[in-house]
Chain A
């Protein structure tokens, strides 16, 4: 073992106090320094932390961004989401391959460029986009791809590759300097309105924790992370749960393809999110908070650290917040390493504890036994923003917004075939048609509401409204134009996504995501039968028994398109006698034998 490995591991491990629950941070930092996490390195990490090597191995092997071998001086992760494909990702990928001289999944012989696929990186309004050594390069073209590779070969740094440009708003902040754009098309009253950090918190500390929860309950704030759980109730459970220590998590994993609102909120309103965490902490009696951010947003790290530092300096975090003695709460950042399932709250907690991001069996729920088995509140970024505004402006104000059962606003992430993709903060109750019109979408074949785990609807349903009681959504709103091949360009892409992202714990999720892809490919290739389509549908019932939402919804793209776009399936079914499998070709199956004996 080289002494540099031992030295690096020692330094990094001591940075995190030798605490094995900080394994994610240790791995991320060590990989930053050494370029990859070889078996020699993981053995050293295990030894230094005093844990079995297998514990380190299983965490490393779980996450997409952890590398066992070097991934090149420049590791290019090109997004392969549906919207990226719509925007010409295929040609960009080819340009990268030609310019670099290697295929995706490989590193060039000179070790300079590595090319890799990755799932949605939260840039659907500016695709095709890639991460290069953690920096975002949005709106790529084949020319830009060639230019980037030339720059890498010419010895430029990633900063130089960005060419001194930045995006709008805080993307231009000296600690961010990202090429990313916010594209805020419509500012609502909850998140993107005027905001003064600390105002809500000062009001809160004058109230009792029970009163704070009372206001959140009266406003019937519901979770914006997808499931729509009543926030006041969640806080109340955590407040009543027995525990000397309690935690507040902000879920900024944002892995649902087509979602990018949390990225924009963290860029433009980070104080508001953290203030929301502090309010939650006050309400439940928590001392520590963890802001779990997906690895794809690591370019925001220094900026977010700075915001936290700034809030400490203003007395909005730390000891005796807002001068209230006994109200001590601080927040630290935790980055993921590339795994959609980590957005599921119990997987998020596992991951923050340094483990594989596998969802836990529930109950017990995190509000009883969460992070380190202590009561833990997990809330989405946007939920916490709503909480801040509710505390500022009151439940009555909040209840005037939205519909009967869905109060407040929703930040939508509009992407796909339209003129104005981006962020739209609207009151609940807008119809799909309203959004299509504002976004400048014409000739729309379908809309995928709520991402792959949501549903795919056709024009007949565009009058439906966005609300928990009708079309619920975590924010993703993907517009699919007429010319698209819905099954091949959209449904199959989602099927691959789920197969890739299943954590593998539950047999139905692990096996049927794979089988669904195979059957779907067969149908798309014109070799499927009506029975294949029935079979795909029938699996939905089995999938409902999976442990977490990923497996429970993984067949939604297939099932909702069978329901709403059945003719697209029927048109592709193989002709002929359904008693025989259309794909089986006897003459092809004996070719190998004929070749072997003709030589023999």
Chain B
């Protein structure tokens, strides 16, 4: 009789695109379950362990935030390439969220307000320069929710999604058991 082989841990990557990191905070809000989580999964590229580039193919990618610049698009595309299952979590990733409020204005107006005419910059930018440099990302014409750029497999709503919902979803993905969402995890008022 052979000993039961330890189940291989699933590999998880996470990122925050045009988000506020609130969704990642909520992920950390699972409190002591983080210890269980470490048993279940191994983190790869993620701000949690500060791994900057993918070093392995991953099972699960968690995306916070939508895409507001071309770097976001590149990162999201990388995630899609390297993760078998992609989960968008939080309002910003699902719908664009707060950053998408600018979608109702032309980009030019937003940039001019931010760099040329706004009360905190007026007169402070005599060259009237809107920052641009090959090293800084280019701003997109509008903020895109993730599913308009790549295929997203699962969506976790909330701003941020509750820690319990994130936990339940991760456990379901890792164990392959169907998620049974608890009412309180998506009741927002």
Contacts and interface: CB of A to CB of B under 8 A. Distances in A.
Nearest to A597: B132
Interface in B73-91: 73, 77, 80-81
B108 A592 contact: yes
Interface stretch (A6-14, A204-212, A230-238, A581-589): A581-589
A591 B107 CA distance: 10
Contacts of A578: 151
B148 A596 contact: no
Contacts of B122: none
Interface of A: 529, 531, 578-581, 583-584, 586, 588-597, 600
Given A586-B73, A597-B130, A600-B132, A581 B138 contact: no
Nearest to A580: B150
Contacts of A586: 70, 73
A581 B141 contact: no
16 contacts: A580-B77, A580-B150, A580-B151, A583-B148, A588-B141, A589-B140, A589-B141, A590-B138, A590-B139, A592-B107, A593-B138, A595-B108, A596-B112, A597-B111, A600-B111, A600-B116
Given A580-B151, A581-B148, A588-B141, 16 more contacts: A581-B147, A581-B149, A581-B150, A584-B148, A589-B73, A589-B140, A589-B142, A593-B139, A593-B140, A594-B138, A595-B108, A596-B108, A597-B130, A597-B131, A600-B130, A600-B132
Q: From A531, A584, A588, name the one whose CB has the most chain B CB atoms within 10 angstroms.
A: A584
B149 A596 contact: no
Given A596-B107, A596-B130, A579 B141 contact: no
B9 interface: no
Nearest to A578: B151
Nearest to B132: A597
A590 to B, nearest CB: 4
Interface residues of B, number: 28
Nearest to B125: A600
A180 to B, nearest CB: 46
Contacts of B80: 579-580
A522 to B, nearest CB: 11
Contacts of A581: 147-151
Contacts of B108: 592, 595-596
Interface string B94-128: 00000000000011100110011000000000001
B136 to A, nearest CB: 10
Interface in B141-160: 141-142, 144, 147-151
A584 B149 contact: yes
B129 interface: yes
A592 to B, nearest CB: 4
A575 to B, nearest CB: 15
Interface of B: 70, 73, 77, 80-81, 106-108, 111-112, 115-116, 128-132, 138-142, 144, 147-151
A592 B115 CA distance: 16
Give the 10 A-B CB pairs with smallest separation, nearest first.
Answer: A600-B130, A597-B132, A592-B141, A592-B107, A590-B138, A589-B140, A593-B139, A596-B108, A584-B149, A593-B138
B129 A593 contact: no
B151 A579 contact: yes
Given A579-B80, A592-B108, A593-B139, A584 B128 contact: no
A586 B77 CA distance: 11
Contacts of A580: 77, 80, 149-151
Contact of B141 (A590, A597, A600): A590
Given A591-B141, A592-B106, A594-B138, A600 B151 contact: no
Contacts of B138: 590, 593-594
Contacts of A592: 106-108, 141
A588 B142 CA distance: 11
A590 B140 contact: yes
B70 A590 contact: yes
B117 to A, nearest CB: 12
Contacts of B141: 588-593
B186 to A, nearest CB: 15
A531 B139 CA distance: 29
B111 A596 contact: yes
A220 to B, nearest CB: 47
A450 to B, nearest CB: 35
Contacts of A531: 151
Contacts of B131: 597
Contacts of B139: 590, 593
Contacts of A589: 70, 73, 140-142, 144
Nearest to A600: B130
A462 to B, nearest CB: 39
Contacts of B147: 581
Nearest to A583: B148
A197 B70 CA distance: 76
A250 B148 CA distance: 48
A524 to B, nearest CB: 18
A600 B115 CA distance: 10
A540 B75 CA distance: 35
B150 A579 contact: yes
Contacts of B70: 586, 589-590
A595 B150 CA distance: 26
B97 to A, nearest CB: 18
Contacts of A593: 107, 111, 138-141
Contacts of B116: 600
Nearest to B133: A597
A597 B70 CA distance: 15
Nearest to B152: A581
A600 B77 contact: no
Contacts of A597: 111, 130-132
Contacts of B142: 589
Nearest to B129: A600
Nearest to B111: A596
Interface centre among A581, A586, A589, A591 (most CB of B within 10 A): A589
A597 B128 CA distance: 10
A79 B66 CA distance: 41
Contacts of B151: 529, 531, 578-581
A580 B73 CA distance: 11
